[in-house]
Structure 1
Amino acid sequence: MERSNRKIKIAFMFLSIVIASIIGLGFYGYFKILNTNLIYQGVRVEKYDLSLMTKEEGLNYIKENHEKELKDRSMKLIYADKEYVYSLDELGLYSDYEKAINEAYSVGREGSIFKRIKDIIYVKKNGIVIPLDSNIDKNRINHIVDTISEEIDSDAKDAEFHFNNGNISITNEVVGRVVDKEKLSKAINDNIDRLDTIEIPVENILPKVTKSLLSRINGVIGEYSTSFKGSSQNRIENIRISATALKGKLLMPGESLSFNDTTGPRDKKFGYKEANVILNGEFTPDVGGGVCQTSTTLYNALLLADVTILERSPHSIPATYVKFGQDAAVAYGFLDLKFRNDFDFPIYIDSKMVGNQLYFYIYGDKRSKDYTVKIESEIIETIPANEELILDETLEPGSRILVQAGRKGYKVNTYKSIIKNGKTVSRELISKDFYRPKNFIYKVGKDVVETSNNLEDELNNRIDDIEMDGSNGQ
């Protein structure tokens, strides 16, 4: 009995020692494993093994190695003979190291003691990889894209037409280019992991005016001249200024031109002089007199070139330097001569003054314009001038004093004919003009005897004389 009790005591003591050992080992494991400040064994961030490192050690380790790798890895961008190489660091790639370290450190530290131990054992055996989140600095990418664009981008340059005394020379056009910044930025962003060589997306900018197009200007397709003989020096100077403003104008297909916009306001500060102009049917001194001869000469050259006329007005009285119905009056802000190039080739305007003649030439594709234009004016009606008599009792009986010289009026139709291979293929009415008549006005004394038939002939003869005097026309 006594021996049996001793055995029980010995067994109890042994069990107590075992339990105490287990408890001791448990406390030791808790303090040594569960209460450690080290990252548990088997934890990696990407390819970097952080086993048994402190957070600070792990942070420094992955940061140092990863950033070195960013500098060693690069992306190549190419265009033609240009090559750009940027490291990932230069591209602005950055990583969230703090987040990765916090996630690595949290492994085996969440949940109950038993869950933690289970996680620690699993990770030690199987390992775990924490992703390293990376982002790209958009501002850095935009700066790189802008830098590349500045080096590659170039403006398109139109071919240039040069005309010197009838000799034509044309420079080549230059194709421009522009980097598609949006596409390039996206390509860089999408290529961060692969690091493939990128072909920089570049778009060509085609110039509007090419040498092949300008080369279609190969000869005169319409020309006209008028005489300014007998004009004052001021009037001649106004013709010269306005004609020079139009000289060298190039109109591409579909483009329009305004005479007034091109020649500018008739103002002394622009060099225009005072000379006779037609105002309300009268010759009146004003700045810019003579400019209408420029517009009329150009108008007729345009008609013969078959250029589309958009706006044209006749004078109130016929001009003396051109046939009836073929004049083109202009007044800045009121009357204009406008036209448009409806050909599929450009046209070029040249002008010159030789002796007492003003010339306008319209250049274009003489080979494709395989017809000629004929302009004809037809007086539909001649309206005689009437006479008005004003009784003046202070005058001697039978006396007559001219107060206002009169003139005939006209209704005129103008036609344009297209002639091809010597035959008229079309004829169209292009204008209907009315030049108003003007009455003769006399002051007469008493007892004036009317001899209307003889007077009518006399009046018409005097009108003809006035209309033949070209020195006062605008």
Structure 2
Amino acid sequence: MTSGPDWFVPHPRPGARPDDTVILNETPDGGVAVPDEADATVALPTSSDTVIMPAPREAPAIERLEPEPPPPSSSTPRKRGKWLVTAGVVGLLAVGVGGAAAYVTAGDIPRGIEVLGLDLGALTVAEAEKALRDHVAARSAQPARVRLDGKDVTVAPDAVGLTIDVPATVQAASGEGVRFFGTKSIPPSVRVDEAKLTAALRKQVDTERVTVRRPAIAFRGVEPVTAYGEPGLDLDGTMAAERVREAWPVAGVADVPLTTRTPAMTREQVDALVTDVAKPAVAAPVTVTVGGRSFQLTPAAIAKGLVFRADTEGRLSPAIDGKRLRTAASGELRKVETAAKPATVRLQDGKPQVVPGAPGRLVDVTALAPTLLEALAGPAPRAVTGVLASAESETSVADVTELGIKEKVSTFTTYFTGGRSSPRSQNIITVAKAVDGAVVRPGATFSLNGHTGERNYAKGYKDAPVIVNGVLEPGVGGGASQFTTTLFNAAYYAGLEDVEHKPHSFYFSRYPSVIESTIFYPTLDLKFKNTTPYGILIDTATTGRSVTVTMWSTKVYDSVKTVYGPRRNVTSPPTVHRDPGPKCISSSGLPGFTQDAWRVIRKDGQEVEREKFSWRYDPEPRFVCGGAE
């Protein structure tokens, strides 16, 4: 008989089929363990059932019977039991491993992944992004600290596009492998605008320490002038960006030394660029056709607009500088362009009203640049086609409204003789029209010469008496001084700052003494500064006998008045005989004197300023044309 862990013993019972068996457990000593009756269970058999039956407690000895050997393809009861035990263990292990796998793979981010000390493990992508964004919010506003060539400097993050890319960082974290034990810290993804960072750092580098010399090509007139590159110390923008990205998120200091660099462009390459591009570019004009009209870019204008820019490696490349080209060719461009009209303020029905501007139509220099560059390399005749683009005014209705021009703050009138038809009166009217409607912004300085330019025949000015070297002579624009005096007094009584003015050499009774001004282009000017927080509108008006200047703004002062001192050091006019002729203008003469005047400004019921003006007038001679012995 063969022993084993399981016995199959025939146990006939009433109604039992021959294949029914009782399963008994073998004891260690080879006996049979009979389960307690209380623990016994009976399963009703089917044709293939095995019935588990307990043996009686006083069971007689049972003869061991050799079981029939099982078929080769079926498992023995012993092997089956082992399989059941093994399956149970494997099942338990599977449950354990499955639970462990579920633990470490929970969420989108594997467990044990940290960023800047923040545990992102088991979080979803959305949860991780929110957590990381909150975690870095404070440090993202902190400036980047850089030890630049041994000098400690800081850089504002928003000025150079320095930021932690939270989505990219979380995406990198989600791609890390599963970890059963320990933690792994991954660096954050940091973005920075390398060009802006390099520019910001260059401003703080000692220029004497930068010894690298980049090549250059410029124009002297229409002649190309070259400078060749030389090796030396320089700022490496790529290295600076890399070190700032590493140090800034952890509040470290990025060490950025200057490094020795050699320009990438050789002397031969620079010379080739001059031969192939610079010289042909200015060899002939270029005709530009826009919307059926044409204008020419002269070689001089091309030389102004064509630039050769060096990159960080020292490589030169040609480009069209639109702003410089527009300035150089402004006269030609006006043939095809319509300038934008800025919003402004005008008097309508006796009150200031904001007038909207209108867009202009300008040559699109940016669109023109590529075809122009291509044409510059070719032989004459050269022609390109351009397009017009809409250009909005730089001054909007909102800009003008903010100036606060709403009420009259000062006005002044002077009188003249001769009616509107006299040359002197015509000059007064012409300069008054040129200034009418001018707006002086807060903090701006108004220059009369700068506003009108030279007052000449081409602008409608005529010959009239002017003072030249102490004598009266005919001169173009004579009478402009009367308008200058009127404008000066209007600015004076508006409380504006006197920047530049000069009273006449002789006193004229049509002007207030001391508080008056002459003008002569370009050596004598009238300038005043708008020191108020509001804009100033200058309104001018003329009649056949007077000129009036009114300042419109928002009142700042209660009053502006003049207090005069007495005239002193009065001198009588001498008699001067001059040669008769067209340059001699006779006069009756006026006395000379010295006088002081104080401008008194009051605000909120108190005197806030008292400014002294003093002037000494020469006696105006009694000029006699001829008659001298």
- What TM-score comes out, normalization by structure 1 length? 0.46
- What TM-score comes out, normalization by structure 2 length? 0.35
Kindly indicate whether structure 1 or structure 2 has the higher relative contact order, using CA contacts under 8 Å at least 6 residues apart.
1
Larger proportion of helix: 1
